[in-house]
Amino acid sequence: MARIKDERLAEGEVLVSVTVIAAELSEVMKIAKEISIGAKNAKAIAARAGDKARGFQPITNFIDDMARHTLTMVRQIDQEALSVSRICSQEIRTNDAKRRMHDVIRRVEHPSLLKSFQGVVTDIDARLIALRREFDKRLDHLAELLDSINSDMRAATAISSSCRVEASRAEEFREGLGVVADNLEQAVEVIKKHVKECSSRLQHAQRLKQAIYKK
């Protein structure tokens, strides 16, 4: 469990963590687009190679589909991270309001003067609970989307091995198709690195959140 000294700073850290995910994934989007273009080039080489690259042709379709799926996931994550970031901002503001309302209660000398105010405090508490639920729900969804990209990348690792095998059988086209396999392998590694970073940010945000809730 993360330990926090200052609740407000921790809230800010959560906000930064979820917002950084979107930025981190913009790099993944760029790479996925490159994979998609690479798949189209590979398709052209495989077409020229004809029978010599027969096994390579269905793989290029698979790579393209996988790249497009990754792009769709990244776009969804981008939107979701933005929503989580907005909810987080609202939560920070509502929490700030709650702190200040409690400050008001502390300052008012006669409890009878707070009668009309009690409803306000109750409403803010209810709003905060609703925001927290929404935040947790969205964060779980983000984690699922990141898992989905990870699955794509596991599949892509297997594809890049098949690529290499099929490239080795493609005679004079071996080098060109070998480059496709290399590029795919490198791109997958870079995407995995970014997704890992995103997952780590997400877990950090989740841990901090739990610590804030417990405080």
Partner 1 sequence: MKATILYEGKHQWTVFGRDPDKPEKIIDTNQYLVSTPSRALLIDPGGIEIFSSMLAATLHHVSVDQITDLFASHQDPDIISSLGLWDQVLPNARLHSPWLWESFIRHFGLNNIEYVPLPDDGGTIDLGDLSLQLVPAHYLHSSGNFNIYDPQAKILFSGDVGAALEADGAPMFVDDFDEHIPKMKMFHQRWMPSNRAKNDWVSRVRRLDVDILAPQHGRLYRGADVKRFLDWFEALEVGVGV
Residue numbers at the binding site for partner 1 (CB under 8 A)? 93-94, 96-97, 100-101, 103-104, 107-109, 113-117, 119-120, 123-124, 127
- What is the spatial distance between Cα 70 and Cα 146, in angstroms, rounded to a whole number? 10
Alpha-carbon Rg for the chain in angstroms: 25
Write b or e for each residue in 155-192: b if 16 or more Cβ atoms lie within 10 A of its Cβ, otherwise e.
bbeebbeebbebbeebeebbebbbebbebbbebbeebb
Q: Is the CB of 68 or the CB of 132 nearer to partner 1?
A: 132
Chain-centre distance of CA 139, in angstroms? 9
Q: Is the CB of 23 or the CB of 104 nearer to partner 1?
A: 104
Q: Is the CB of 96 or the CB of 140 nearer to partner 1?
A: 96
- 101 contacts 121 by C-beta, under 8 angstroms: yes
Q: Is 130 helix (H, G, I), strand (E, B) or coil?
A: helix
Taking the complex as a whole, the smallest distance from the CB of residue 129 to partner 1 amounts, in Å, to 14
Q: Is the CB of 26 or the CB of 122 nearer to partner 1?
A: 122
Taking the complex as a whole, the smallest distance from the CB of residue 100 to partner 1 amounts, in Å, to 5
Q: Is the CB of 19 or the CB of 95 nearer to partner 1?
A: 95
Taking the complex as a whole, the smallest distance from the CB of residue 81 to partner 1 amounts, in Å, to 22
Taking the complex as a whole, the smallest distance from the CB of residue 34 to partner 1 amounts, in Å, to 39
- What is the spatial distance between Cα 170 and Cα 116, in angstroms, rounded to a whole number? 81
Taking the complex as a whole, the smallest distance from the CB of residue 11 to partner 1 amounts, in Å, to 16
